Amino acid sequence: MQCDVPAVAGPPVGTYPVNEIFESLQGEASFTGTPSVFVRLQGCPVGCPWCDTKHTWQVIPEREISVGAMGEKTEQPCDSYAWCDVPTLANIVRAADAEHVVITGGEPCMYDLRPLIAKLEAWHHRVQVETSGTYVPLVTPSTFVTVSPKYAMSGGRPVLDEALARANEIKHPVGKQREINIVLEKLDPIHQARGTPIWLQPLSLSSRATGICIQAAHRYGWRVSLQTHKFINIR
Ligand code: SF4
């Protein structure tokens, strides 16, 4: 399946724009090593400069494809997407082996995820949502919410207290010491008050960033997330 697929018409009412669905291991934070179905939604206005899924930022009408074409996508990053309604999406997920479902993006919390998650949970899936914290997560009470807060990005969206309060875990990328200072100032109070785990994720797994993370984890009682999928060369 190549990226230059023909566009098809289709109204997006009550549906989600899906970039891709694939199975892998969750490589980060609390669910590291867990077989998972990843549902990547299209659309994100946050604008992180290091984003490795920039192809998901725009929902361009001309890039709409059929559900079948989306399901045949290869691993090549591609900005095409298919509008999927809840039954269609849930059925695709159900056909996979994994019980754990990760809804990611893009920024999945741009959308009201409750209908989709409720359906998946009714079929005994556990659902994790990965979000930037710039939207209030519209999820079910059982949803595991991973907030990776993105401060002062070009999209100008603030990180919301409501999103941080809903987090089951907080994950923060770290490249330099200044990110540790941000975690200490803005996120550690939540860790202290609510016991929400804080995971530090070294950017690009560089030895310098990893060293900063390990030192801070020891000092402040946080944890280090190492993107283990990259060590074994899987998605
Ligand atoms: S929030 Fe996520 S998808 Fe959006 S720009 Fe940042 S890293 Fe990329």
Among candidate residues 65, 51, 55, 91, the one with its CA nearest the CA of residue 7: 65
CATH class of 1-167: alpha beta
Task: Give pLDDT, residue 14.
Answer: 60
Which residue ranges are tagged as binding site for S-adenosyl-L-methionine? 50-52, 106, 148-150
Question: Could you identify the atom of ligand 1 that is nearest to the CA of residue 45?
Answer: 4
pLDDT digits (tens, 9 = 90+) for 176-225: 999 999 999 999 999 999 999 999 999 888 899 999 999 999 999 999 99
**Residues with C-beta less than 6 Å from any ligand 1 atom:** 44, 46-48, 51, 53, 56, 105-107, 132, 150
The domain ranges of the chain are 1-167, 173-235
- Which strand ranges, in their side-by-side order, compose the sheet holding 144-147? 82-84, 16-26, 34-41, 100-104, 126-131, 144-147, 169-174, 198-202, 223-224
- Tell me the Ramachandran region of residue 165: left when phi exceeds 0, alpha when psi lies from -120 to 50, beta otherwise: alpha
Neighbours of 195 (CB within 10 A): 7
Question: Could you identify the atom of ligand 1 that is nearest to the CA of residue 132?
Answer: 1
Helices assigned H by DSSP within the chain: 67-71, 86-95, 114-122, 161-166, 177-182, 188-194, 207-220
What are the pLDDT tens digits along the chain (235 aa)?
Answer: 445 554 444 445 468 999 999 999 999 999 999 999 999 999 999 999 989 899 999 999 999 999 999 999 887 899 999 999 999 999 999 999 899 999 999 999 999 999 999 999 999 999 999 999 999 999 999 999 999 999 999 999 999 999 999 999 999 999 999 999 999 999 999 999 999 999 999 988 889 999 999 999 999 999 999 888 787 777 7
Task: Give pLDDT, residue 9.
Answer: 47
Contacts of 210 (CB under 8 A, 6+ apart): 202, 224, 226
* Pocket test residue of 54, 58, 132, 151 for ligand 1, highest count of atoms within 8 A of CB: 132
CA of 131 to the centre of ligand 1 (A): 8
Which residue, by CA, sits nearest to atom 8 of ligand 1? 51
Q: How many residues can be counted in the chain?
A: 235
Question: Could you identify the atom of ligand 1 that is nearest to the CA of residue 56?
Answer: 3
CA of 33 to the centre of ligand 1 (A): 23
Which residue, by CA, sits nearest to atom 2 of ligand 1? 106
Task: Give pLDDT, residue 103.
Answer: 98
Question: Could you identify the atom of ligand 1 that is nearest to the CA of residue 134?
Answer: 1
Task: Give pLDDT, residue 100.
Answer: 98
